[in-house]
Structure 1
Amino acid sequence: MNIFVAGSLWVAGAACVGGLIAYLVRRFGRDDEGRPGNNDAAGQVFTIVGGLHAVLVAFVLISLYDSVSTVSQTAQSEADSLVAASWAADALPEATKDRVHQLAAAYARTVEEQEWPRLADGGEVPATGASQLDQMRQAVAEAPADDDWLLDRKTEASNQLWSVYQARQQRLAHSGAGGVGAVVWFALILGSLITAILLPNLFGGTRLAAHIVIVSTLAGTITLLLFAIYQLQNPFSGGVSVPPEAFTSALARLV
C-alpha cells in the first residue's frame, strides 16, 4: 500500500476513534457540557504531560532522521572510496589492476543485490562482501612496488580500501540498531493516549461539536507523528528508505 494512503488511513482512523470517544464522554457523562471546573487543573496537567510527550516525540524523530541521513552519506562514502581504490590500482602491475577491478565490481554488485535486501528485511548479511573486500586488500598488499610512484599508488589504494571497510561497518551497524526499542514505543503510545484522549476529555465548557473536533484533530496529529516514527525506524526500508543508488553508480564506473 502506498505510504501516503496508509498514513492517511491511520490518521483518519485515529481521528474517528478520538471523536467517537469524545462524543461518548460528553453524551453519557454526568455533565453534558463537560466539566468546566476541571479546566484549570486539567490545563496545568495537560501542559506538563503534553510538553514531556512532545519532547520525547521530537527527540525520537530527530534521532531517526539523522540516522537516515547518516546511512545515505555513509553509503555514498563507501561507494566513492571503492571507486577511488580501483582507480589507484590502475598504476599497479597488470595482474593486480585487473584483480582489483574485478573484485571491486563484484563487491558493488554484492552490496546492491545481496546485502541491501537483507538490510531492508533485517536478515543476516552474507559474508561475501567482506570476503571480496579482504581479497582486494590482499591483492594490493602483495603487489610489487619498485619506485616511489608505485608505492604511493599502493598506499593510496590501501587507504581507500580502509575507508571502504570503515564505511561498511557503519552501514551494517545502522542496520542492527533495531530502530525504536520496546520501552520507547511503550512510552510513545501510552503518552499519546494520555495526551490525545484522556486529558482533553477532562476539559469542559465547549460545545459538543467543537469538543469532538478538538479531540479528533489532536488524535490525528499525534498518530501522524507516530506513523512517521514507524516509517523511519529502518533506514533501509519503509517510506524513507535509502536506495543503493551509490553502488549502482559505482558499478557503472567500474565496468
Structure 2
Amino acid sequence: MLTTITVVIMAAALAAGLTANRLRRHRVPAGGEDEEASISDLISPLETLAVLLVAFVIVVAAESYGTAGSAAGAEAHRVDQLYEVADYAPEPERERMQGAAVCYARAIMAYEWPAMVDKGEKAAEASVWSSDFRNHFKALAQKHATTFELLVRADDERSVARQTRLSEAMPAIPAVVYWFMVISLAATVGAFAFGLPRRRGAAHFVLLFVLAGLFTGSLLLIEDIDKPFSGQIRITNEAMAETAADIGDDFGTDHPGSRLPCDPTGIRV
C-alpha cells in the first residue's frame, strides 16, 4: 500500500509540474529568460533540502537494517554457544538444557519469526524454552559456579540479541518523516518539471524522467529496507535454521536414545 501511494504521489507531482510548465510557456512571452533564471534559483534550495533529507533517511534505514541482520545472526550464534557450554554441565541438566536449546531454535523459526514479521511481537512458544534455561541454571548455581556463569552470560547475550531483533523489526523511520520526505521529493520533481526552459529538447525530458525515477527508487528502497524482515530485501531466518539443524544433529549424537522434549515446530510434548 505504501509503495503504491508513493509512486502515485511522485507521478502526480511530475504530471502537475509538466502541466504547469505548459501553461506558463503559453503565458510568458518569448525572451522571458530572466523569469526562468529566477525559477531555477528558487528550485536550487528545494533540491538541496530533498537530497540531504534522502541521504539522512537512507543512512538511518540502512543502519537499522544492518543492526537487525547482526542481531539475527548473533542470536543464532548464542543459541549454538549455549548448547556447547551446556556440555560442561552434569546430567541430567546437560541433556535438559541442550534439548531446550534445540526446541528454542525450532520455536523461533516456526512461531516467532512469522509473528515478528507480521506484528513485531515475540512468540510465547519460544519464551517457554528461554524460561526453561533459567530454571535449569538454578540447579547449577551452587555446585557448578563456573559453568553457571558461562551459561548465564551466553543466555544473557541471546536474550539481548532477541530483543534487538524484535525491536528492529519495527520501522525505524517515523511515518511523519517518511511522508515529509515523499512530499519534499514530489515538490522537487514538480518544480523541476515546472522550471523546464522554453527552448527545451528531448534531453531535458530524459533527464527529468531519470531524476523522477531515481527519487522514486530511493523512496521505495527506503521503504523496503525499513522493514528488514518483510521487505523484498528481507533478512531471512537462515542463521537460526542452520543452528537448529546443527544442534539437533548434535543432540542425537550426544544423547543417543533420548527424545527431544518438543515436536519439529518447538512445541513441548
Q: Offset of 1:187 from its aligned partner?
A: 1.1
- TM-score with structure 2 length normalisation? 0.80
- TM-score with structure 1 length normalisation? 0.84
Q: Following superposition, which runs of at least 4 residues in structure 1 exceed 6 angstroms of deviation?
A: none
Q: Offset of 1:221 from its aligned partner?
A: 1.4
* Contact 2:140 2:147 survives alignment (8 Å): no
- Number of residue pairs matched? 243
Task: Output the CA distance in 1 between the equivalents of 2:31 and 2:230.
Answer: 45
Q: In the alignment, does 2:131 pair up with 1:137?
A: no
Which residue number in structure 1 is paired with residue 148 of structure 2? Answer: 154
* Contact 1:119 1:175 survives alignment (8 Å): yes
CA, structure 1 residues 21+39, in 2 after alignment: closer, same or farther (shift >3 Å)? closer
Which residue number in structure 1 is paired with residue 219 of structure 2? Answer: 226
Q: Offset of 1:41 from its aligned partner?
A: 2.1
* Contact 2:68 2:169 survives alignment (8 Å): no
State percent identity of aligned pairs. 25
Task: Output the CA distance in 2 between the equivalents of 1:179 and 1:34.
Answer: 49
Task: Output the CA distance in 1 between the equivalents of 2:81 and 2:245.
Answer: 14
Which residue number in structure 1 is paired with residue 74 of structure 2? Answer: 77
User: Which of 56, 60, 63 matches 1:63?
Assistant: 60
What amino acid is aligned across from residue 107 of structure 2 in structure 1?
A: T
Which residue number in structure 2 is paired with residue 180 of structure 1? Answer: 173
**SS of residue paired to 1:94:** coil
Task: Give 1:1-255 correspondences, 5 Å limit.
Answer: 18=14, 22=18, 25-26=21-22, 29-31=26-28, 36-122=33-119, 124-143=121-140, 146=143, 150-176=144-170, 178-255=171-248
What amino acid is aligned across from residue 211 of structure 1 in structure 2?
A: H
Q: Offset of 1:14 from its aligned partner?
A: 5.8
What amino acid is aligned across from residue 168 of structure 1 in structure 2?
A: R
The range that moved more, 208-217 or 78-87, is 208-217
Task: Output the CA distance in 1 between the equivalents of 2:124 and 2:133.
Answer: 15
Unaligned runs of 5+ in 2: 249-269
CA, structure 1 residues 226+15, in 2 after alignment: closer, same or farther (shift >3 Å)? same
Q: Offset of 1:61 from its aligned partner?
A: 1.0
Unaligned runs of 5+ in 1: 1-5
Q: Offset of 1:134 from its aligned partner?
A: 1.7
Task: Output the CA distance in 2 between the equivalents of 1:238 and 1:70.
Answer: 15
CA, structure 1 residues 32+165, in 2 after alignment: closer, same or farther (shift >3 Å)? farther
The range that moved more, 65-74 or 180-189, is 180-189
Q: Offset of 1:180 from its aligned partner?
A: 2.8
Q: Offset of 1:133 from its aligned partner?
A: 0.7
1:116-162 CA distances to partner (integer Å, 9 max, x unpaired)? 1122222543222223112112202213664xxx4322211111011
Q: Offset of 1:35 from its aligned partner?
A: 5.3
What amino acid is aligned across from residue 80 of structure 2 in structure 1?
A: V
Q: Offset of 1:107 from its aligned partner?
A: 0.7
Task: Output the CA distance in 1 between the equivalents of 2:207 and 2:31.
Answer: 13
The range that moved more, 42-51 or 243-252, is 42-51
* Contact 1:68 1:232 survives alignment (8 Å): yes
What amino acid is aligned across from residue 192 of structure 1 in structure 2?
A: L
1:67-102 CA distances to partner (integer Å, 9 max, x unpaired)? 111111111111111111111111212111111111
**SS of residue paired to 2:162:** helix
